[in-house]
Amino acid sequence: MTKELMGSVLDPMGSLCIRSFMNKKVNTGLSAATPIVRLKKNKPVDKAAIKKNLRYQRDKDRELVKGIFRFHEVPGGTMSFVFRAYKEDPVERYDLVDGEVYTLPLGVAKHLNKGCWYPVHAYQMSEEGKPTKNVGRKVHRCSFQSLEFVDIDDLGESFIDEVIVEDKPVSIG
């Protein structure tokens, strides 16, 4: 037998279950003694202010900046990609050659500096000879070095590899 509790269902074992969107019972793993927390409704959102801020950010990202494209993955090579940052923007194709000077929108320059990387993970050995730490590093595929003054926070420091270290015991075996 099941009991109804504020739109939820208690199964015979006392676990709290909810109904999913397909009306199937899903076990939440909570006991019936666990209090149910109701979220407060969000404050009203000023859609006009959000739209104005988005338009400002879009206009700022469309400002042209002049700089040198660097393709770290294939020096001297060509990188081709398509880019669209905002819903209203058209999809544009870019073909960039390493070491050439280009005039690009600021949003594309930010993308080249902040969004073109992949993680590399490795294990470190402890004194006992066991792998204990998961080390992650960002390898940047390309960058765009501005020839104009642009705030360093806008473009990021793409020439510095970031290292992420997590203390997690790892068992191999």
- pLDDT tens for 20-70 read 445 555 555 555 555 555 666 667 778 888 888 999 999 999 999 999 999
Distance CA 147, CA 130 (A): 48
DSSP H/E element including 113: helix 106-114
Mean pLDDT of the chain: 75
Amino acid at 121: H
Instruction: Provide the pLDDT for residue 24.
Output: 55
Distance CA 79, CA 73 (A): 10
Instruction: Provide the pLDDT for residue 75.
Output: 93
**CA-based angle 30:33:36, to the nearest 5?**
65
Half-sphere exposure at residue 122, Cβ-oriented, CA atoms within 13 angstroms: 6
Sorted by where each begins, the domain ranges of the chain are 1-38, 60-118+140-164
* Cα→Cα distances 146→62, 114, 160, 162, 170, Å: 15, 14, 16, 21, 42
pTM over 0.85: no
Distance CA 105, CA 60 (A): 9
